[in-house]
Every structure is written in C-alpha cells, then in structure tokens.
Amino acid sequence: MKQEQKRLLGMRLKLARVAVRQSQGHVAEVLGVTRQSVSAWETGASCPSATQLAELSALYCTCAHSLLFGESFRPLSISALVPRGVRV
C-alpha cells in the first residue's frame, strides 16, 4: 500500500473511532493489540491486517470498504460490465 493510501486509511480509521466515541486504548483491548498499534494505524505508519480491519469495521459500525476507500460499497451490475448484445 502506498504511503498516501496508508495516510488516508489512517485518517478514516481515526474519524470512525472518534465517531463512536472509543479511545485508542479501548480499541486496542478489544482487538488484542497495543494502543501504539492503533496509533500507528491512525497515523499511516502501519496498516491493520485484513482480519483486524474486519474487526475494526464491526466495532465502528461501518463497512471495511468505506474505511479503505472512503465511500460506501455499491455492488456492480454484471450487465454494466458485459458488452451490449451479449446475453448473460
């Protein structure tokens, strides 16, 4: 992951945590990591694992997609991907 992507993910993680009024210490305790790990995620110094990201999204009541990309998940329509005239 590029540094700018890490920074943006970190910013979204912090905003989501603050929105649900959780401390870094509480998040760390729930996930079984150190408070310093949570801080590193929020500053973009490191990234949570996929499992940790799923746990964070559940804890913050949001989807992992919005944490990663900054927008809610929108399912794609298969017909939008298939050229016109081709039957699916």
pLDDT per residue as tens digits for the range 27-78: 999 999 999 999 999 999 999 999 999 999 999 999 999 999 998 777 777 7
Does residue 43 form part of some domain?
Answer: yes
Q: What is the pLDDT of residue 88?
A: 57
Beta carbons of 28 and 3 less than 8 angstroms apart: no
Q: What is the pLDDT of residues 65-84, one digit of tens each?
A: 999 999 877 777 777 777 77
Q: What is the mean pLDDT of residues 2-21?
A: 96
Does residue 50 form part of some domain?
Answer: yes
Q: What is the pLDDT of residue 76?
A: 72
> For the domain that residue 8 is a member of, what is the CATH number?
1.10.260.40
Domain around 65: 3-69
Q: How many residues are present in the chain?
A: 88
Does residue 15 form part of some domain?
Answer: yes
Closest among 58, 61, 57 to 20, alpha carbons compared: 61
Residues whose CB is less than 8 angstroms from the CB of residue 38 and which lie 6 or more positions away in sequence, other chains included: 17, 24, 27, 28, 31
